[in-house]
Amino acid sequence: MDLGLKNKRALVMGGTKGLGRSIADALAAEGAAVTISGRTQATLDEAAAALQALGAASAVGVVADVASGEAMDDLAAAAVAAMGGVDILVLNHGGPPRCTASQMQEADLVKWFQHIVVSPIRIATKLLPAMRAQGWGRVIVVGSTGMQQPIPNLALSNTLRASIWAWLKTMSGEVIREGVTMNVLAPGTIHTDRTNESAAELARHRNIGFEEALAQRLAEAGREIPAGRVGRPDEYGPMGAFLASDRAGYITGSMIRVDGGRIRGMV
């Protein structure tokens, strides 16, 4: 399906790996120009070359730290300079450490509020006026099903992602008449680096090898999912490309789940 994204200009935060990369790949395959952010230039350059090989109109990488508001300003400016503007903004970042609600510390709440809420809102606020002025734009938040159904031991994520969801839901109603849609794309359990990190922790805890621990981790997760398995990144990113397209122009203020049926609620 041609989604009509050829030469659209996309900024994908955290686009070198995982969920951000899966969206960047899908946008590149549709012929969009893509700017990605990440932690190291070498990794960004490697990812940008791969995106161009997939079909991106252009691909550049910009080092940016989501912990810094000023870095978000610089990232927005760099993306505009590289592509001439930003039509599609994908807000993505690493997740906070695991903890229960009773284990949460105020210092961690403050630190991760910057990552998950303040910095994404700051860069969106920089880029939304141009989208509104041109009468077309897309903002996609890489979220979590924990926004809808809290995930045990992910209390920091559950708490703070609820804030960005509330902001998006509010802002989406303010910009839709100017052709700008805003949605959350919420993954269930997708096999990313975070899955591997969890498996490595399990291996240490059970004193077994990594591959055995990973197999156990995937099997345990699969038993909780109606699909019976963990998802792949390439099953997540294409929905991001669809939400970025004209075909999704009547979808806004919504949370779209890619979770294998994990969330059992009807809303």
Residue 263 lies in a domain: no
Q: Are residues 16 and 128 in the same domain?
A: yes
Residue 106 lies in a domain: yes
Q: Check residue 214 and give its pLDDT.
A: 84
H/E stretch holding 142:
strand 137-142
Q: Check residue 203 and give its pLDDT.
A: 86
Q: Quick one: average pLDDT of 93-100? A: 91
Reported as a pLDDT band with limits 50, 70 and 90, residue 213 is confident
Q: Are residues 180 and 195 in the same domain?
A: no
Q: How many domains does the chain have?
A: 2
Q: Which residues pair with 34 in a beta bridge?
A: 10, 59
Portion of the chain with pLDDT greater than 90, in percent: 78
Q: Does position 1 have pLDDT exceeding 80, yes or no?
A: no
Dist CA 18 CA 94 (whole Å): 10
Residues 6+ apart with CB under 8 A from 190: 19, 230, 231, 232, 233, 235, 236, 258
Q: Are residues 198 and 132 in the same domain?
A: no
Q: Are residues 220 and 92 in the same domain?
A: no
Determine whether 207 is exposed, middle or buried from the number of CB atoms within 10 Å of its CB (0-12, 13-18, 19+): exposed
Residue 224 lies in a domain: yes
Residue 100 lies in a domain: yes
Reported as a pLDDT band with limits 50, 70 and 90, residue 212 is confident
Reported as a pLDDT band with limits 50, 70 and 90, residue 222 is confident
Dist CA 168 CA 120 (whole Å): 10
Q: Are residues 70 and 156 in the same domain?
A: yes
Q: How far is CA 243 from CA 2, 143, 160, in A?
A: 13, 14, 23
Q: Check residue 2 and give its pLDDT.
A: 87
Could you tell me the CATH number of the domain that includes residue 174? 3.40.50.720
Q: Check residue 198 and give its pLDDT.
A: 80
For the chain, report the end-to-end CA distance as a whole number of angstroms: 28
Residue 172 lies in a domain: yes
Strands 180-187 and 137-142: parallel
| Other beta carbons within 10 Å of 237 | 26
Q: Check residue 54 and give its pLDDT.
A: 97
Q: Quick one: average pLDDT of 34-50? A: 97
Q: Are residues 110 and 216 in the same domain?
A: no
Q: Are residues 90 and 202 in the same domain?
A: no
Q: Check residue 264 and give its pLDDT.
A: 84
Residue 265 lies in a domain: no
Q: Are residues 109 and 222 in the same domain?
A: no
Q: Check residue 194 and give its pLDDT.
A: 78
Q: Quick one: average pLDDT of 248-261? A: 96
Q: How far is CA 241 from CA 28, 143, 156, 167, in A?
A: 9, 15, 28, 22
- Phi, psi at 71, each rounded to 5°: -65, -35
Structural domain of 128: 9-190+232-258
Cβ atoms of 125 and 240 closer than 8 Å: no
Q: Are residues 58 and 150 in the same domain?
A: yes
Portion of the chain with pLDDT greater than 70, in percent: 100
Residue 67 lies in a domain: yes
Q: Are residues 130 and 254 in the same domain?
A: yes
Q: Are residues 82 and 136 in the same domain?
A: yes
Query: What is the tens place of the pLDDT at every residue in 102-138?
Result: 999 999 999 999 999 999 999 999 999 999 999 999 9
Residue 267 lies in a domain: no
Q: Are residues 208 and 249 in the same domain?
A: no
DSSP code of 115?
A: I
